[in-house]
Amino acid sequence: MEAKTPEQSKTTLTDMVLPGETNPLGNLFGGELLARMDRAASIAARRHTRHIVVTASVNHVAFSRAVPLGSVVTVEAKVSRAFKTSVEVFIDVWIEDRESGNKTKANEGIYTFVAVDETGRPIAVPAVVPETDLEKERFEAALRRKQLSLLLAGKIKPSEASELKALFE
Ligand SMILES: CC(C)(COP(=O)(O)OP(=O)(O)OC[C@H]1O[C@@H](n2cnc3c(N)ncnc32)[C@H](O)[C@@H]1OP(=O)(O)O)[C@@H](O)C(=O)NCCC(=O)NCCS
């Protein structure tokens, strides 16, 4: 199986915030943003694996900036690291200024997808070869995030989380 770069899975979704998608303050409803992130991330995971993928976990989401009604929102997803059957996908969310066209980072999220066959059984995925400094940084930290996610899900014991233990040594 040939390794791929994060750029090969890059998926960009651009859309507006409409009235039915906002909270009482007139900002984008969090669940709506999560759905857009999930859609972009699952396409990126599919482009990397070329298989059916399912969302296994949402490891992290930071809603650091509100996204007002009428905003043009760009959701960009790329596979940051692949393991045996799972991939981590990093999602960056940008809002575009109407007058200047400049994009400001609004939010980010990190999702894990598992590639499965037609019966839902996990199957092996290609490796990731990071190219840019940011891609290398995200690749390096991905194993730590995977162990944290598995620990919180009760799927590994604290003694098995070697990368997390190393943080405190
Ligand atoms: C995701 C799913 C396929 C994993 O099945 P499983 O029996 O736990 O399979 P495994 O234990 O073999 O794990 C498969 C991979 O998922 C990873 N994984 C499982 N749970 C995880 C979690 N909470 N966080 C991070 N990775 C996880 C495992 O580490 C393993 O990765 P690796 O092979 O790359 O090392 C299964 O739980 C599933 O189908 N869930 C429903 C998915 C779904 O419907 N999503 C949409 C939400 S409605």
For residue range 75-97, what is the model confidence (pLDDT) as tens digits? 999 999 999 999 999 999 999 98
Is the pLDDT at 8 greater than 80, yes or no?
Answer: yes
Is the pLDDT at 169 greater than 80, yes or no?
Answer: no
Whether residue 52 has its Cβ less than 6 Å from ligand 1: no
Cβ atoms of 9 and 127 within 8 Å: the answer is no
Between the CA of 49 and the centroid of ligand 1 the distance, in Å, is 15
Nearest to 109 by CA among 126, 93, 132: 93
Greater pLDDT, 159 or 10:
10
Strands across the sheet containing 11-16: 11-16, 72-82, 86-96, 103-116, 52-62
Between the CA of 21 and the centroid of ligand 1 the distance, in Å, is 30
Is the pLDDT at 164 greater than 90, yes or no?
Answer: no
Using CA atoms, how far apart are residues 68 and 28, in angstroms rounded to an integer?
Answer: 6
Cβ atoms of 146 and 129 within 8 Å: the answer is no
Nearest to 132 by CA among 59, 80, 64, 71: 80
**Binning pLDDT at 50, 70 and 90, where does residue 48 land?**
very high
Is the pLDDT at 99 greater than 90, yes or no?
Answer: no
Q: Where are the domains of the chain?
A: 6-129
Q: What is the pLDDT of residue 143?
A: 95
What's the number of CA atoms in the CB half-sphere (13 Å) around residue 126? 19
Among protein residues, the one with the nearest Cα to ligand 1's atom 36 is 56
Q: What is the pLDDT of residue 168?
A: 81
Q: What is the mean pLDDT of residues 55-81?
A: 94
User: Other C-beta atoms within 10 Å of 68: how many?
Assistant: 13
**Binning pLDDT at 50, 70 and 90, where does residue 62 land?**
confident
Q: Which CATH class is domain 6-129?
A: alpha beta
Between the CA of 165 and the centroid of ligand 1 the distance, in Å, is 23
Q: What is the mean pLDDT of residues 110-129?
A: 98
